[in-house]
Amino acid sequence: MSNLAALYGEHLADLLARHRQIMQRHDIEYLVVPSGTPIRVYQDDMDYPFKSSFLFRTYVPLTELPHSYLVIGLTGKPQLIYFQPEDYWHTPPSDPEGIWPQHFDIEVVSQLTQALALLPKDAETVAILGEQTEATENYLRAKLNPLEVINAIYWQRAYKSDYEIACLLKANQLAAHSHKVAEESFRAGKSEQQIHLAYVEASGMMEHQMPYGNIVALNEHAAILHYQECQSKVPATMRSFLIDAGVSFNGYHSDITRTYSFEQNEFAELIAAMDEMQLNCIASIETGQQYLDLHIAAHQQIAHLLKQFNFVDMSPESMVESGVTATFFPHGLGHLIGLQVHDVGGQFADQTGAINSPPSAHPFLRSTRNMEPRMAFTIEPGLYFIDMLLKQLKATEHAKSVNWERVESFKPFGGIRIEDDIVVQENGVLNLTREAFAAL
């Protein structure tokens, strides 16, 4: 932890230097960054689970601290207005502790009105980053999320410091352990709900603290990309298991997917081939390469598998050009990852926020950035048997090239996705996920 503390100090110093340069370029004297406000359930007396704004967590690893504010000037320590109410209904935040307090001038407040008195005066040289709050809504002259400032910050978010990479690695290590427990539960014949609960318990976190809702899909449910149910009944026949789940550490997220076959059969062979294909995809990454090019290359490799396993009798080139591969691989290859599961700025062309949209043939690709050192991405190719898309393919001229009987025999397995979190380096790629699993 001492090493993480040192890395955090370096991370914050560099972050402040870069953001203050942006402030100076745009005549901003203060950044005000709210942690956020809990959202009340309509006509009820409870709030939805709260997570601090990722803009707030950019500076400080406080993931569940509502009604608090960072104030960043052009010099000196940032100020943290730390909301710690006197409350016997709920557990109040603990006193500031950990690797970060020494780097901030901390003002602990127990009333929201106290926070307002500590914020800088309303002025055109103040910029608010994030959502308006009760304390900032009366700011009339301050700038709310000025694009020239916030887009430059979003652009820089793609490049991770040593501290951030260490947090991402820790998040992968925690998730790898939980994934292993989930696999063991699947092998033991458990239900989706039982597997999900085993994963959550192994992570040491509460369900609402997960980076996103776990996807725990047995059999044909693996064909639903964002399967949101979690059935308590064990299927009559156990065939396959797809789990897409992560863990958070200091506000940084992992996003890992694995697919398993219950028996050693052709579906297991297809999983092994997909795993090899995914690793080959990662091994091919070159510094400066466009993520879009990697995505298209993945489609070409998926096409080879479709032909190798006798699903489609077309040349791989024709499958990609005609869009046939999109029936079986309908989503993007991956995305930026960090303080958000899908980090901002993935389709930015530059720091102004100009958009570099994916081509119409690949509309769901979340990243069109070049892959440069210190950028963290997910790599998650998939191969699925989705009724809706297969019906659309049947209505095209390419239907005659599909081995429909074989496709039907694989539909009960749902599909396959293999996802790792990686960091591009000057020479090669650091695969955080494989490193975490290897350490088990």
Burial class of residue 28, CB neighbours in 10 A (0-12, 13-18, 19+): buried
Question: How many C-alpha atoms does 429 have within 13 Å on its Cβ side?
Answer: 25
Is 87 annotated as belonging to a binding site?
no
Q: Residue 51 in 3-state DSSP? A: coil
Is 293 annotated as belonging to a binding site?
no
Between the alpha carbon of residue 80 and those of residues 6, 107, 137, the distances in Å are 20, 6, 19
Burial 156-187 (b: 16+ CB within 10 A, else e): ebbebbbbbbbbbbbbbbbbbbbbebbbebbe
Contact 432, 174 (CB under 8 A): no
* DSSP secondary structure string for all residues of 114-178: HHHHHSPPP-TTEEE-S---TTTTT-SSSEES-HHHHHHHHHHHTBPPHHHHHHHHHHHHHHHHH
Contact 85, 163 (CB under 8 A): no
- Residue/partner pairs of 237-242 with CB below 8 Å, 24 or more apart: 238/186, 238/189, 238/262, 239/263, 239/267, 239/412, 239/413, 240/267, 240/413, 240/414, 241/183, 241/186, 241/195, 241/217, 242/215, 242/217, 242/414, 242/415, 242/416, 242/417
Q: Which helix (H) or strand (E) holds 319?
A: helix 316-322
Angle at 429 between CA 350 and CA 164, to 5 degrees: 65
Q: Residue 349 in 3-state DSSP? A: coil
Is 380 annotated as belonging to a binding site?
yes
SS3 content of the chain, % helix, strand, coil (to 5): 40, 15, 45
Question: How many C-alpha atoms does 238 have within 13 Å on its Cβ side?
Answer: 18
Angle at 92 between CA 90 and CA 97, to 5 degrees: 150
* DSSP secondary structure string for all residues of 250-270: TTEE--EEEEEESSSSHHHHH
Binding site membership for Mn(2+): which residues? 244, 255, 335, 380, 419
Binding site membership: which residues? 244, 255, 335, 380, 419
